[in-house]
Chains A and B, each alone.
Chain A
Amino acid sequence: MDANRLSQGQLVSAIAALALFIISFLPWFGVSGAVTVGGTTIGGSTNFSLWEAENPLDIYLLIVILVALAPAVLALIGDGADAPMAAMATALLAGVGTLLILYQVFDTPGGADRKIGLFLGLIACAGIAVGGYLTMQETSGGERY
């Protein structure tokens, strides 16, 4: 395995995709509440990772991670397979994913609290999109998409 086989864009996409996968297990949303009974206040809070929140975003971001990792994995194992749409697919899907996470930042499900995973996920997904865009530019050599 030789990491030099990866272009700069593929490397950026792959690292950001791995980061997004790890981040998906951190808390993304939180719900907290308090009840006062007889002058005593009892409070509690629960956090939800991307996978625990009832939201199709988890499946979508899993697709983004797989699409971003596939060219890097193929290049590392020296398959030599040409995937002309891979860079465009990575940039497009991660770009849309970034918009979807951004939407969740402003409109959390059920008015839940925003947690660290949501913001880190936003950065990681944007990183995948940038990596995909760089790969597009590297492979096209200035050719217009």
Chain B
Amino acid sequence: MTGRLSQGQLIAAFGAVVLLVAMFLPWIGVSGPSLPSGVTLPPGVSSAAGSSSENIWKGSTLDIYLLITVVVAALPALLALTDSAEEFSFVSAATFLLGVVAVILIAAFLTVDFPDGAERKVGAFIGVAAAAVIAFGGYRAMQEEVAGEI
């Protein structure tokens, strides 16, 4: 089944799975102010202090874009699983392109577009690494296709 996939397609599919999992991990963290030491709250009053985190699904169009990238990157593997005879030449180039743009978009999200006062969480870093793996896998698959044609 996976024998029909090239090394590049396997790398891209692995990156797609990691990116999909990373999208459900925390990307943004918000910490509330904590009470000064020695201050006790009266019974029945709770403190709002603490931290919360959100994944990418509650954000913006970035979630939809990354989902499209995951689907395109995993497409050759999905087709191989269903034994579909399909040419992947367009998909490899598309995977490379979408992966590169995904790296740029996540990097921009982590720098210029990141909400003020929030913390960058582990999901965002795994996400940018997974997008880079998808781009590398797509590039590798393109090279393998060219080498196969010669």
Contacts and interface: CB of A to CB of B under 8 A. Distances in A.
Interface stretch (B39-47, B87-95, B126-134): B87-95
A100 B101 CA distance: 14
Given A99-B68, A145-B89, A60 B61 contact: yes
Interface in B59-108: 60-62, 64-65, 68, 87, 89-90, 93-94, 97-98, 101, 104-105, 108
B60 to A, nearest CB: 5
B113 interface: yes
A125 to B, nearest CB: 12
Contacts of B62: 56
Interface in B112-128: 113, 115
B98 A56 contact: no
Interface string A91-105: 011001001100110
B68 A96 contact: yes
A6 interface: no
A56 B109 contact: yes
Given A63-B104, A93-B97, A57 B90 contact: no
A109 B65 CA distance: 15
Chain A at the B interface: SS class: helix
Interface string A75-109: 00000000001001100110010011001100001
Interface residues of B, number: 20
Contacts of A96: 65, 68, 98
Nearest to B68: A96
A56 B61 contact: yes
Given A60-B65, A96-B65, A96-B98, A109 B93 contact: no
Contacts of B98: 92, 96
Contacts of A60: 61, 65, 101, 105
Interface of A: 54-57, 59-60, 63, 85, 88-89, 92-93, 96, 99-100, 103-104, 109, 144-145
Given A54-B60, A88-B97, A144-B87, 5 more contacts: A54-B115, A55-B60, A55-B61, A85-B97, A103-B61
